[in-house]
A and B are shown apart, each in its own frame.
Chain A
């Protein structure tokens, strides 16, 4: 059974189900409930998260399991690492992924490396949920997409859902995974609605999903850009070109097989990634195909990304900054040498 709920509600539901299933699952972060120790609130919340994603959890699970933290990311993210290593299964919310600057050591040098350094004698079942993405007019320190930073670090898993159904199943997998997972939520997707299964289900981390089948070219897109790819694919279909849209859903581990099989079928690859272009998910996926799938290619690989600049505040500049279906069509036109594609 499915019903239509939002991306935000799907994430909320995953946390609720996980907390019901396992008392070791706790949630901590800045204002995940809000109003801690305010007399007239008690187990009522003031916020339920800055975007309301954690609403209602404190009412059901109480303030012992839904912990508001001071604004001290190094403190509570670091504490989550060893809370995980010593028996809890924390979901730590890093409000914006940009705030990783305040706690990178705890993630990069502690969470990611404990198991390896200790010869496999520790595990860190920690999920860090964090908001990313441009398009919200939130300017340079609240709009980045920093998943490549974490993908670079062995020991971390990196998950980026693009639909409510994927978000719920992947978050449940992340919470019950025994390794540290960084779970990215695009803030501009929270209100997006989609069909979501009821009850507990998981989607395996490391398994890409083909969001649209096609035979003429492959578009691999990350997170919200899956929707840019799907829009472009529909526009291309009107011109008689069938694009296959592959959503990796996790960058670490990366489902190399699905990406390579798709390119083997279509002979062409475009990667859409709204993050900055250098040392990025886009370059990583392109390198994968250049390295292991060169013989499949009928045309050079193309990447559609943000430019190598911070995210600008002004709406006119931010709109130019992001990938669009029109940009995709332009690239496809060049790729197949048919300029008529971009004309409406």
Chain B
């Protein structure tokens, strides 16, 4: 009997369209949150994903709802790429009852378990073991699902990185560890905080493949993710992918970013922008037309505008919600 194994596929027109739309949605969403936050309307902390769109989108392009992802404090992009509802996300950031977490979590804890989004996370390094657990379920229940752990360069020095990857490796679990190396853990450069030159170099210690990808190139991320996800779905265990990227905004809103230089910002934000790069690619490959791209860009502005209106018009939670969901049944 021939066992049918999933195989590599080339980027289709439909997929390219989805990817461009998701990248634009993330950028538009984050630029809008940045704008609203600066007016002092939003409660709490927000950490924006703008600049890193190619990573979440290039990876999630291969996932469906049965697959899980774990995220970070910089989680909006992962949520959008994994199919979370933008209205529910924006309402959550506003602390409204219609938010994806009913206003209980906020920006740093947006989750939608039904979509396989296991939560943004306030704890650096929190995601490694959580992704491993989701992959253990997939393996034991033979669902064919994979788990993706998105993490930042700051987390690669956390103890959970070692424990999580080692566990996934010895049990050959279907996990893809995706490092988003944006160069800075808060205000601390990667090169200062990490003893390795590349995060992917650490894969050798766990006897798993490690791959370095241009995290500004969504096609490169897409292809690397496809290889890793195929390995995972075929029972060959975890892969570590390091995406070299950059965050356009600060660690959180309000960060003066004294650690960045004007030149690097110019290069990363203007010259090497991931969305502009992909736009050029789909046009040159004749995957999408200028008119189609315009249409997506127009639609995305509308979608995000609607999300803000939805959030602003939504009610706040009620007093009785305070003690709901501490346990399945509180009494």
Contact = CB atoms under 8 A, between A and B. Distances in A.
Interface of A: 30-31, 34-38, 40-41, 44-47, 50, 68-75, 98-99, 101-102, 136-142, 307-310, 312-317, 320-321
A150 B259 CA distance: 35
B155 A46 contact: no
A167 to B, nearest CB: 24
A37 B319 CA distance: 49
Contact of B106 (A50, A72, A309, A313): A313
B317 A139 contact: no
Given A70-B185, A71-B158, A313-B43, A40 B104 contact: no
Question: 8 nearest interchain CB pairs?
Answer: A141-B122, A313-B106, A34-B187, A314-B95, A314-B103, A137-B43, A137-B44, A70-B157
A316 B321 CA distance: 10
B106 A139 contact: yes
A99 B123 contact: yes
Given A36-B193, A309-B326, A310-B326, 19 more contacts: A44-B258, A71-B154, A71-B193, A72-B158, A98-B123, A101-B123, A102-B160, A137-B44, A139-B105, A139-B109, A140-B105, A140-B109, A141-B122, A308-B323, A314-B103, A315-B316, A316-B95, A316-B316, A317-B95
B187 A47 contact: yes
Contact of A46 (B44, B154, B259, B317): B259
A127 B101 CA distance: 37
B322 interface: yes
A70 B99 CA distance: 34
Interface in B243-264: 255, 257-259, 261
B144 interface: no
Interface residues of B, number: 46
29 contacts: A30-B188, A31-B187, A31-B188, A35-B187, A35-B189, A37-B192, A41-B259, A46-B258, A71-B158, A74-B159, A75-B157, A102-B160, A136-B44, A137-B95, A139-B44, A139-B109, A140-B122, A141-B108, A141-B122, A141-B123, A312-B103, A312-B317, A313-B105, A313-B106, A313-B109, A314-B95, A314-B99, A314-B106, A317-B103
B105 A70 contact: no
Nearest to A316: B316
B316 to A, nearest CB: 4
Is chain B's binding surface mostly helix, strand, loop or mixed? loop
Contact of B154 (A47, A70, A101, A102): A70
B102 to A, nearest CB: 8
B322 A312 contact: yes
A47 B103 contact: no
A31 B191 CA distance: 14
B190 to A, nearest CB: 10
Q: Which of A47, A136, A307 has the most CB of B within 10 A?
A: A47
B125 A313 contact: no
A136 B122 CA distance: 14
B261 A30 contact: no
A71 B95 contact: no
Interface in B290-308: none
A72 B124 CA distance: 9
Contact of A138 (B45, B96, B104, B160): B45
Given A71-B185, A313-B106, A317-B321, A36 B258 contact: no
Given A30-B188, A313-B95, A35 B259 contact: yes
Contact of B104 (A34, A46, A312): A312
B186 interface: yes
A54 B96 CA distance: 35
Contacts of A45: 258
B322 A317 contact: yes
B194 interface: yes
A47 B193 CA distance: 16
A102 B317 contact: no
B77 to A, nearest CB: 19
A37 B258 CA distance: 13
A35 B123 contact: no
B122 A37 contact: no
A303 B191 CA distance: 50
Contacts of B44: 136-139, 313
B188 A35 contact: yes
Contacts of B96: 314
Contacts of B259: 34-35, 38, 41, 46
B319 A320 contact: yes
Contacts of B188: 30-31, 34-36, 68, 70
Contacts of B187: 31, 34-35, 46-47
Given A31-B186, A72-B159, A314-B316, A37 B191 contact: yes
Contacts of B97: 314
B186 A47 contact: yes
A71 B259 CA distance: 17
